[in-house]
Amino acid sequence: MKLVVAAVLAMASLPAFAQTTPVAPIVKGTALPPPGTEAAVLAPVNALFAGLASRDGAAMAATLHGDGGITVAVAQPDGTKTIRQQKFAEWAAGIKPGPERYEERMPAPAIEIDGDIAMVWGDYVFLIDGKLSHCGVDHFSLVRVDGQWKITNLAWTSRTTDCPAQ
């Protein structure tokens, strides 16, 4: 009887030892997406930045898809935080010509792609007339429509402290 109990206990403990080892992550560039896809995903992001730099709301709107919008999480130096949201049409219409020169830099974006959806995420700095205005993190959601990548939503944080030196 003791032998039967010992065998049952030994069998009951087998699932604890039969755990699956996690699969190692796929090394970037060794699987899908096909070569060149990351550059294609970045194209509307860069075009949006170019439209912003030229203060051309219509050029910015050409990179956007559908009824998406923007979400901005602003952190003030005093610790006050606010969230602002706008539909794409309203946001792009608010970009008007003016004397200031805008420039947004996102030096090392992370890009994730799965089929016809993609995400671009990265630290950015925003300059006005070559001087740091604010910084944060940009997050772009994109979709491929008729072979072209378009931005479906855009969110970013905005702060004036702890920004990288320019």
Tens-place pLDDT, residues 100-126: 999 999 999 999 999 999 999 999 999
Q: Where are the domains of the chain?
A: 35-159
CA distance 125 to 102: 11
Q: Copy the structure tokens of residue 104.
A: 């947004």
Question: Higher confidence at residue 13 or residue 158?
Answer: 158
Q: How confident is the model at residue 20 (pLDDT cuts 50, 70, 90)?
A: very low
Which CATH code of 2.60.40.420, 2.60.120.620, 3.10.450.50, 3.90.226.10 fits the domain covering 35-159?
A: 3.10.450.50
pLDDT bracket for residue 36 (50, 70, 90): confident
pLDDT at 12 (0 to 100): 47
pLDDT at residue 141 greater than cutoff 90? yes
pLDDT of residue 49: 97
